[in-house]
Amino acid sequence: MIRQTALFAVLLSAAGAAFAATDNLRTVAEQSGFKRTGRYDEVIDLCARFAKAWPDAVRCDEFGRTPEGRPMLALVATRSGARTPEAAREQGVPVSLFQGGIHAGEIDGKDAGFLLLRELLQGKAGAGLLDRQVLIFVPVFNVDGHERFAAWNRPNQRGPEQMGWRTTAQNYNLNRDYLKVDTPEMQAMLGLMNRWDPLVYVDLHVTDGAKFEHDVAIQVEPLYSGDEELRKLGRELRDETIARLTRQGSLPVGFYPSFVVGDDPASGFADTVAPPRFSTGYLPLRNRFGVLVETHSWKPYPTRVKITRNTMLDVLQLVSEHGKDWRAEQLTADERAATLGGTRVALDYKATDKAREIDFRGYAYTRTPSEISGALMTRYDERKPQIWKVPLRDDVQPATQVEAPKGGYLVPAAWSALVAGKLDAHGVSYQRLGTAHARQPLQSFRAEAAKFAERPSENHQRTSLRGEWQAETRDIGAGALYVPLAQARSRIAIALLEPQAPDSLAAWGEFNGAFEQKEYMEEYVAEDVAREQLKRDPALAAEFQRRLATDPDFVRDRNARLEFFARRHASWDEQFNLYPIFRVDRAPD
């Protein structure tokens, strides 16, 4: 009896010491009363210490390196037994990925995630949740930006005292890189996603913008975009998350609270679908749920961290309750995506002018001319809460639609390395043609006009193309890629390869060389060529005279007049303005 009592005392003491050790896994934020947030060395330390404290439940994985050589870390937490991607797939265990610090000044997610994870592992919150799912937590996505640490990196945000920077060391905004995947950071993140294939991807942010009482915005896609059946579940996920946050004392909204007219509350709000450069625009292309969490920047940091923590817990509870059913529907959506060929597909979306009046909890405000800028400026009085009755445009419809090719896309060998790298990053399947194909029936897109942006964006010169697909036959050389739409990630292929899609490779200027004229005649040669053409071809001469008689702009533009003849000469570059990707109705023989 004495030995048993002594042994029990030893075990109790050891258990108490272990609990105390895990209870001390507190962040700098917690220890400072949420006045400060820690540097990245804290993330490295806590990742290792969590794994050491709960070796049966937590693993600390490095999934990439930043341009400045820092490790990108993810904590993989589960008590389900599915500790690898393969095990999760085999056992049907749902996976959720929570990502903080994509904009490293908006760092609520890092501190909220560590707090919640400790509570889950200690049994202080979400009892049993980790038994039924895998939680992947990336505390900081933009690691190099996180270490560009200063007090005024977010001047319109209350706390913490210092924080990281919005963009990476290479000055990329990672939340513009999901589809074009330029950065090492995004390549690493997509690799993590490809391995684990999360059911839900939760992107943790802090808003910019006006002052009002609402403390968090929750957006989910698919809701207006992507697979129609998944939209119903996306709405369920959004609305139930909002309902639970409301019961917890928050004031959530289901749209991003940015005014239709900047700085004018009376203009109200318009809901939207972000293009796929953003996380919530990208995840529907994978037939998975993207959740955008935006706490309100003017709320104090302790409040924002608490709300972020609550939101993460709410999503985990919903995944625990519905994850297996949602996963089954997503896999069915993968099968539906493989049948998109030959159907109408939306490239982007826009809210119509249809609006409904909502009550929005703001503050009293005035709009008066500024003595600084001279512009009409809004000034808020946070001492006076006020209900704004404002319009909300939430009838979101497709803005641009195309008929997808029945078979897929052909990428000539000259462009295959560029395109293959992007497809590989997203896990899109393709085949490389081992032999040449003569006179292949296909559709080509020739730009009637190519408009290049005057200023760079994300290290690119963006391009807008106007034109249409036309049927023709062309020779396709060996080494070309065939990208079939009969696959789960067909929406990604369409978003990348349709020239008029908002974040296509063409839109980001990857093919700008195809729209630059590189060969030409000297003007005195062009004059002689034109005279010879007029003499030899009466129909051409008649068409030229008609243009002169009916088109004043043509009359005044000497270059247009010379080009009229140059386009009809054998020296004209047949490939000028030809988009270097083709569409086909079936796979090449």
Segment 160-180 mean pLDDT: 98
Whether residue 278 sits in one domain with residue 214: yes
Q: Element (H or E) spanning 408, and its range?
A: strand 408-411
Q: How much is the pLDDT for 572?
A: 74
Q: Strand 200-206 relative to strand 289-295: parallel, antiparallel, unpaired?
A: parallel
Q: Whole-angstrom Cα distance, residue 381 to residue 297? A: 16
Same domain for 513 and 535?
Answer: no
Residue 498 lies in a domain: yes
Dmax over Cα atoms in the chain, in whole Å? 120
My answer on whether 126 and 219 are in the same domain is: yes
The 3-state DSSP class for residue 380 equals strand
Task: Let me know whether 504 and 528 are in one domain.
Answer: no
Q: Which of helix, strand or coil describes residue 383? A: strand
The answer as to whether 344 is a domain residue is: no
Same-domain pairing of 302 and 426 = no
Structure tokens at 514: 């195809």
Q: What are phi and psi of 115, to 5 degrees?
A: -60, -50
- Residue 535 included in any domain: yes
Residue 5 pLDDT: 37
Q: Are residues 108 and 149 in the same domain?
A: yes
Higher pLDDT, 496 or 576: 496
> What domain count does the chain have?
4
Residue 19's pLDDT is 42
Is 428 found in the same domain as 552? no
Q: Higher model confidence: residue 527 or residue 223? A: 223
pLDDT averaged over every residue in the chain: 94
* Whether pLDDT at 529 is above 80: yes
pLDDT band at 526 (very low <50, low <70, confident <90, very high): confident
Write down the pLDDT at residue 517.
86
Name the DSSP letter for residue 255: S
Confirm whether 47 is domain-assigned: yes
Q: Can you tell me the mean pLDDT for 548-570?
A: 90
Q: Would you say residue 477 has pLDDT above 80? A: yes
Same domain, 448 and 415: yes
Residue 558 lies in a domain: yes
Say how far apart CA 14 and CA 144 lie, in whole Å: 39
Mean pLDDT of 575-579: 92
Report yes or no: 374 and 553 within 8 Å, Cβ to Cβ.
no
Rounded mean pLDDT, 283-299: 98
If asked whether residues 387 and 317 sit together in one domain, one would say no
Flag whether pLDDT at 582 surpasses 90.
Answer: yes
More confident residue, 5 or 466: 466
pLDDT of residue 7: 37
Please state, in angstroms and rounded to a whole number, the distance separating the CA atoms of residues 194 and 537.
60
Q: What is the mean pLDDT of residues 354-360?
A: 98
This prediction has a pTM of: 0.92
Judgement on whether residues 114 and 160 belong to the same structural domain of the protein? yes
422 within a domain of the structure (yes/no): yes
Q: State mean pLDDT over 292-307.
A: 98
pLDDT category of residue 174 using cuts at 50, 70 and 90: very high
pLDDT category of residue 565 using cuts at 50, 70 and 90? confident
Tokens encoding 248:
């917890």
CATH of the domain at 167: 3.40.630.10
Higher pLDDT, 70 or 14: 70
CB-based contact 140:101 (threshold 8 Å): yes
pLDDT for res 199: 98
Based on the fold, state whether residues 380 and 482 are members of the same structural domain. Answer: no
Q: Which residue range(s) make up the domain with 387?
A: 358-398
Q: Which of 2-6, 176-180, 299-303, 531-535 has the lowest mean pLDDT?
A: 2-6
* 151 and 167 both lie in a single domain: yes
Q: What is the mean pLDDT of residues 26-47?
A: 98
Instruction: Tell me if 218 is assigned to some domain.
Output: yes
* Phi, then psi, of 458 in degrees rounded to 5: 50, 45
CB atoms within 10 A of CB 540: 16
pLDDT at 23: 63
In a domain, 163, yes or no: yes
